[in-house]
Structure 1
Amino acid sequence: MTTTAAPGTPGSPGTEPEMTGPLFRPGRIGSMTLRNRFVQAPIFTQFATTWGEVDQRLIEYHRARARGGVGLIITENTSVDWELGRTVGHPMRIDHDRFRAGLTELVEAVHDEGAKIAVQLHHTGRQNSQGNTERNEPPIAPTADITSAFGTAPRAILEAEIPGLIDLYAQGARRARDAGFDAVEIHGAHGYLPSQFLSPRTNRRTDRWGGTLENRARFALELVRAVRAQVGDTFPVMYRLSVEEPYEGGLSLEDGLAFCEMLAPMVDALDITAGNYDTAMTLLPMVPPGSLLGYAKAVKERVSIPVIGVGRLTWLLDDLDKAVGDEELDFVSLGRSQLADPDTVVKTARGEPDRVRRCLAVNECVSRWMFNGQRTRCVINPALGQEKRAADARRPAAVRRRVLVAGAGPAGCEAALLAAQRGHDVEVVERGTRVGGQLHAWGAASTFRAEIANLVDFYEGELRRAGVAVRLGTDVGSVDLEGYDHVLLATGSEAADAQDGIDAVAMLDARVAPDAAEVTVFGETETALFAALWLAEQGRRTTLISPVEGVGVDSNDMEAGHLAERFAELGGVVLTSTPDPGGPGVVRATPRRPSGVLEGAVDGRRVRAVGSRLRGGRMYEATQSGFWAAAEIG
C-alpha cells in the first residue's frame, strides 16, 4: 500500500491525505462516486431518540466518522415498520414523512465532511419479540412458529399482506431520496425479513412465495422492483445479503450465490456477509480477521457489479489494497473498528497505522450493551456516543498544570494522553516494568493476544508522541506528591482473597504456570476464564471451578461463551456452583478489590482515585474514568 503522510491532526478539516493505493482511489456505485473504497458498515448504535428520531448525538457520531475519511456511511438498521418490524432498543425510523427533517440534517452533516451516506431499510420479521411490538402482537414471518434467538414465536404473513410489506420499503426509499441520501441499502442479511423469505429454514410456504429458490427469492426481487419504481433507475440501490446461513436447513452458499446472480441486474452493489442472530458468532466474529472475506470474493466471481466485503478488515488493509487492485472485491466495509477509532482511514492513509485504536473484537459493544437495549459503547474509545463532549474535553486548558499519573494501565494511559493533549506537563509512574498494567494478564492466552499487544503498543507510541514522561519500575509511594498540581491514582485492583493460592493476574502477567500436570482455577470471573484457557494452552490438565452457576459472569455473554468453547476444545473441564477447593496450588481468580495505595492521601480534589480503583469493573470503566478525569483538570 503506497501512502504519503500529510501534516495535521487526524480527522481535522483541511488536512486531506494524499491517497495513492487502490483502497484510497475513488470508486463508483451506480451513479454515486465515492472518494475512496472504504465503507462504514451499518452499526446499530441506539443513538436515536426513544421514538426513532435523529438527534444531535446521532449526528455528531456520524459527523466524526465522515471526518475520519470513509467514502460512504451506511446508517444503522432504519425501521420501515415501527409497529411490528423495528428492532429492540432505539433504532432510527423512516416510516413517515415527519422524520425527514432530522434525516436531512444527518445527511448534511455527513456531506459537509466530504462523505456520502446511504440509509439502510430494515424490517425485523421474526427476529423480534412480542414485547417490542407497538400493540404487543407477535412478530411476523413467512412461516409461523419458527422462533429466533429473540424467543417469540411469529405468526405467518398472509399473502394479502405481502404487497403492503413491500410498499413499506418502497416508501422508505422514497423518503430517503427526498431527504438527500445518496443511496439506499435493503437489509436482506442477518436473518431479517427478506432473508427469512429466502431461507428454506424459515420459509416453508407452499404458495408462490415459498418452495423453490425462485419462489423464495420472489419477495426480495419484488421489493427491489418496488424500490426502483419509487427512486428511479439512476438512484443507487444496494442490497445487503447473508450469502450463507451456516446451520442445518439454512441458506446454502450455492443458493446464496445463485440469488446474487438474480439480484445483480437490479441493484448497484452487493454488501456481502453471512449468518444471522441464531449464528451470531458468524456475523460478529471474534475469530481471526477476514473470516467473512471469502464470501465477498466468491460473489465477485459471479457478478459484475461492485461487491463490498466485511469482517474485521482493519487488520488486513495491505492485503485488501491488493485485492481491490486485482478486482477481487471493490469496497471494504469497516464495522466495529469504526466504533473504536473513527479516524482509522485517515490515519492509515497518512502512513500512521500504528496510531489506530484497533478493535479488540471482545463484543462488549454488542453483547453487553446493544443486546441489552442500551446505547452502544466501546471499551477502548471513551468518546463513542459523546463526540461533542469529547471534542470540548480536548480543548487546551486555560492553565498549564503539573500532573502525576500513578499506573500505566488503560485508565492511566487515557488520563495521561488527554492531559498532555490539553497542554499539561504529565508524568506517569508505573510500578511494573512495562506500560499496560493488567492488559498483559488479559493478553496471555492466544485469544485476543494480538489485539491486546497492539493496544499496548498503541499506548506506548501515543505516550511517547505526546511527550509524556514515563518512569517504569517506580512505586508512587516513593514520589513526593507535593510537586504536582494534580495526582491521579490509576493503580487498579489487587487480589482480595486472603486464602493460600496463586493469584491468577500475577500468574498471567508473569507467564509462569504452576509446576504441576493438573491445575485447578477457582473463580467466576473473566480472569478465571483467561487463566484456565492459558493453562490449557500450556499443556496443563485444567479444571475451572466457579462458585456460581456461570463462568465469566463479569464478561459479556459472547466473550464468555467464546472463551469457554475454546477451553473445552483443549480438554478443559468446568464445574459450576461448586465450593472453593482451597489449597496452595489453586489458581485464584475471584473478584478483586480496589487498590489501597496512598489511600490516606486521596482528597477528591488534588489527589484522586481513577479507573477501576474508583469505579470497579473492567476495561470500559477504566478507560472512561481515566479520560474524563483528565478532562476535569483545570
Structure 2
Amino acid sequence: MVDVLFRPGRIGTLDLANRVIKSPQTTALSNQDGTVTRRLVDHYKRLAEGGPGLVLVEYSHVDDDASKSIHAQLGISRREHVPGLGWLVDEVHAAGSKIGIQLEHCGRQKFLGTPPIKSASAVSWDYVESQYGNKPVPLTREEIAGVVGAFADAAERAYLARFDLVEVHAGHGYLLTNFLSPHTNKRADEYGGSFENRARLTLEVVAAIRARVPRDFPLSVRLSVTDYEPDGIPVEETVELARLLEACGVDVIHASGGHHALMEYEVSPWFMPRALHRWGWEKIKEAVSIPVIASGSLVSPQVAAEVLESGGADFVSLGRAMLADPDWTRKAREGRFLDIVPCIRCNDGCLDRGLNVGRSTGCAVNPRMGEEYSYPVEPAAAPRDVAVAGGGPAGLRAAAVLADRGHRVTLFEPGELGGALNRATLPAHRQDLAALRDHLVHQVRARDVRVVPAKADVPSLTGYDLVYIATGATPGALPGASAGEAADAGTPAGEVTSVAVIPAREVTDPAAVAAPVVVVGGGITGADTALWLAGAGHEVTLVEAGPAILANREVFTDAMALPGILEGKGVTIITGAEVAEVTGEGVRTATGRVVPAATVLVATGRVPDPSLADALRAAAPHVEVVTLGDAARPGRVMDALHGAFFAARRA
C-alpha cells in the first residue's frame, strides 16, 4: 500500500534511496556556542539508521548578531562550527543516509528575547514582547547586505563540511518570511510594498548562495504556502516566488505553512487536519518543474503515501513523527504499521515541556528521544513473576517492556485493552490517540504476555514477586458535592429531579446525551468533550470556575487555539463561574445564574485511588508494589508512558 514511499528520487544532482525525508526540527542538543555535541550526533545518527532517504538537520543560525533564535541552537556562523558539522555528516553517512542542513535567521521570532531583534519592520511577535519587553528593529540596507552575505558564508561552510544539500528557511515566520509577508513588512523602501520588493531579500540570498557554492550542490528553500494571517502571504505570491526561485537555481521547494503566532498551523495539534497544507503545495507543484517536498502532519505511512500517489508532491518530510519513532521509514517499508510508535501531535514533550521551558526537545511517546543510546531495554538478570493491574497506556507500556526484559508477565484488565484511551478515542478528531491505543495493544498482543480479562484484587496478586498498579484514577467531584456523593461519580448536592449528572469521561455516545448540555470544568477533558458534543449538533455550555479555560498547565497549542475553535462550533464559554448546585433546571452558579441543562457533564479532574496498592502492601508485604500513571498521579499521556517505561526498565 505504501510502496510509492520507497521509489528512488532525485533532487538536483542528489540521488536519494527513497522519498522519505526527516524534516528539520530544532532539538537544543548543541552546546551554548552552537557547536556540535555527542547527543546531537547520536540523535541524527539514530534517525539515519531508521532508513530515510535524506536527513535534514535542524535550523542553524547564520551570524552572531541577531540570527540565533533559541537556547542551545546549532550554529553555522563561524569556521569553528565546521569540524563538528563534519563529524555529524560523517556519522549520518556511515549510518546509510544522505544529509542536509537548514540555514536560518530568526528575525522577529527570537525565543531568546534578547536584543538585538532584527526584522523587516518594528512589528512584534507578541509572545516575545510580552515576556521580555523587546521589540524588533527594522534592518538597515547595510544590515540587509550583511544578512545576504551571512547566508552565503553559511552555505559555503555547509559545502565544506560535506553536507549533501543546503536549505534556506524562508517560512514559518522567520526573517525571510518577515520580508515576504505584508503582515510583518511595513517598509517603504525597495524591500517593502509590492510583491517584487518583498521577495527581493529571499532572491538575493539565493543568488548569493548560488554564486558561492558549486552549481551541483543542491539548494532547497522552505516556504510557508501561507502564514494564515488575514493580511499575510497569499498563496498566489508563494506560487510566483517558487517560480522565481526555480529560475534562480533552486533545486527543490520544501512546502509547509503557518508561523509562530498561529502555531496550530505550523506544528498542527491533534484537533487540526492531517496534511493540512496540501491545498497549497499542490498549487506549487503545478507551477514548477523542480521537485516539491510536502510537509505538515503526514504522521502515518498511509497518509504520506497517498500524497505521493496523487502526484501532489515528489517527496514527503516528517518531523515529530520521526521523533516518536526513528524507525518510521524502516517499519513502513516492512509493512509493520502497528509497530510504528505514532506521533499523537500533542506538542507536549517536544515543545510544551521541552523547548518552551528551556529543555532540549523530547517526545511524549518516546522516552529515549534525545538520549537515543542511553536507555537500552536489556534482559533482566533474574526473571520474575510480574503482574500488571490495568490495561491503560501505562499498564500496556509497562507490560511490553517487562516482557522484553524476559519477565513472566500477567496483565489484568476487566474491560477492553486501552483503558481511558478507549473513551478518549471515540471522537473522530482523536485519530492520533486511536493510533497510539492500537499500537500499545498490539505491542502486548505480539509479546508473551498473559492477559487475564478480570479485575485485579488482593487475592489474585499475592502470588507475584512484583506488581504494577496501573488502574487509573476516579473522576473528580462536582463542586458542592458531599464526600459520599463525590465517591459515587460526582453526584451533586441538592435535589435533582430531571437533570442527568455524568462524569464526562463516561460519555461514549453523543446521541445518548440529552441537550442542552453543560460541561463543568474547562481543562482539556471538558474542552474536548464540549468540542465532540458540539460537533454532533448539541447545544453546549462550558462552565469554568477560573478566569479562563485551558489555563491550568495545559499544552500551549491547546490553550492558544481551542477556545476560538470551541466558539466557532457554537459552544458558549462561561468563566469565573463556580458551580453551587445542580437543580431541576440546570446548573446554578455561586452568583445565582442558572444555566439550563438536561445533562451536566463533570470534568473537574481525576483523583488517584490508592486502595488496591495499600491493601496489597498490607496483606502481602513480600510483594513489591509500584504504582504507575494516573494511579500514582493524574497526568498526561507523556507522564503515563515515560513513567511506565522507566519503572519497567528497572525491574
The alignment's TM-score, normalised by the length of structure 2, stands at 0.87
* Corresponding position of 2:542: 544
Q: 2:359 aligns to what SS in structure 1?
A: coil
What pairs with 1:404-443 in structure 2 (closer than 5 Å)? 404-431=387-414, 433-443=415-425
* Corresponding position of 1:45: 27
Check the 8 A contact 2:254/2:293 in 1, yes or no.
Answer: yes
* Corresponding position of 2:642: 624
* Corresponding position of 1:144: 122
Shift of 1:209: 2.3
Change (3 A) 1:274 1:551: same
* Corresponding position of 2:475: 495
Q: In structure 2, how many angstroms separate the alpha carbons of the residues matched to 1:217 and 1:625?
A: 49
Which of 520, 527, 530 lines up with 2:528 in the alignment? Answer: 530
Q: Which runs of 5+ in 1 are unaligned?
A: 3-20
Which of 92, 113, 132 lines up with 2:95 in the alignment? Answer: 113
Percent of residue pairs bearing the same amino acid type: 34
Q: RMSD across aligned C-alpha pairs, in angstroms?
A: 2.3
Q: In structure 2, how many angstroms separate the alpha carbons of the residues matched to 1:318 and 1:407?
A: 31
Matched, 1:464 2:445: yes
Q: 2:103 aligns to what SS in structure 1?
A: strand
Q: In structure 1, how many angstroms separate the alpha carbons of the residues matched to 2:612 and 2:526?
A: 28
Q: Which runs of 5+ in 2 are unaligned?
A: 478-485, 493-500, 584-598
336-345 vs 183-192, which deviates more? 336-345
Q: In structure 2, how many angstroms separate the alpha carbons of the residues matched to 1:480 and 1:275?
A: 54
Q: 1:260 aligns to what SS in structure 2?
A: helix
Shift of 1:240: 0.5
Shift of 1:582: 2.4
* Corresponding position of 1:556: 555
Shift of 1:503: 4.9
Change (3 A) 1:624 1:503: farther
Q: 1:94 aligns to what SS in structure 2?
A: coil
Check the 8 A contact 2:465/2:623 in 1, yes or no.
Answer: no
* Corresponding position of 1:445: 427
Q: 2:429 aligns to what SS in structure 1?
A: coil
Q: In structure 2, how many angstroms separate the alpha carbons of the residues matched to 1:234 and 1:64?
A: 28
* Corresponding position of 1:387: 372
Q: In structure 1, how many angstroms separate the alpha carbons of the residues matched to 2:611 and 2:25?
A: 41
Matched, 1:100 2:82: yes
Cα deviation, 1:352-405, whole Å, max 9, x if unaligned, reads: 222222222222233453334332222222222221123x2x122222222111
Check the 8 A contact 1:397/1:422 in 2, yes or no.
Answer: yes
Cα deviation, 1:333-355, whole Å, max 9, x if unaligned, reads: 11221122211111111112222
* Corresponding position of 1:5: none
Shift of 1:576: 1.3
Q: In structure 1, how many angstroms separate the alpha carbons of the residues matched to 2:236 and 2:638?
A: 42
Q: In structure 2, how many angstroms separate the alpha carbons of the residues matched to 1:253 and 1:604?
A: 67
What pairs with 1:68-217 in structure 2 (closer than 5 Å)? 68-128=50-110, 132-133=113-114, 137-147=115-125, 149-151=127-129, 152-217=134-199
Q: In structure 2, how many angstroms separate the alpha carbons of the residues matched to 1:607 and 1:73?
A: 43
Q: In structure 1, how many angstroms separate the alpha carbons of the residues matched to 2:433 and 2:225?
A: 32
Equivalenced residues, count: 604
Shift of 1:38: 0.4
Cα deviation, 1:30-88, whole Å, max 9, x if unaligned, reads: 22111111011111222223333322222222122111111111111211134422113
Cα deviation, 1:150-199, whole Å, max 9, x if unaligned, reads: 33421111111122111111221122222221111100111111122222
Q: In structure 2, how many angstroms separate the alpha carbons of the residues matched to 1:320 and 1:375?
A: 27
* Corresponding position of 1:481: 461
Which of 231, 241, 244 lines up with 2:226 in the alignment? Answer: 244
Q: 1:301 aligns to what SS in structure 2?
A: helix
Cα deviation, 1:284-317, whole Å, max 9, x if unaligned, reads: 22322121122222111111111100122233x4
What pairs with 1:225-624 in structure 2 (closer than 5 Å)? 225-265=207-247, 266-286=249-269, 287-315=272-300, 317-318=301-302, 320-321=304-305, 324=308, 327-364=311-348, 365-390=350-375, 392=376, 394-431=377-414, 433-448=415-430, 450-472=431-453, 474-497=454-477, 498=486, 500-501=491-492, 502-508=501-507, 510-511=508-509, 516-552=514-550, 553-583=552-582, 586-600=600-614, 601-602=616-617, 606-624=624-642
362-371 vs 436-445, which deviates more? 362-371
Q: In structure 2, how many angstroms separate the alpha carbons of the residues matched to 1:347 and 1:366?
A: 26
66-75 vs 288-297, which deviates more? 288-297
Residue identity matched to 2:373: K
Shift of 1:512: 6.8
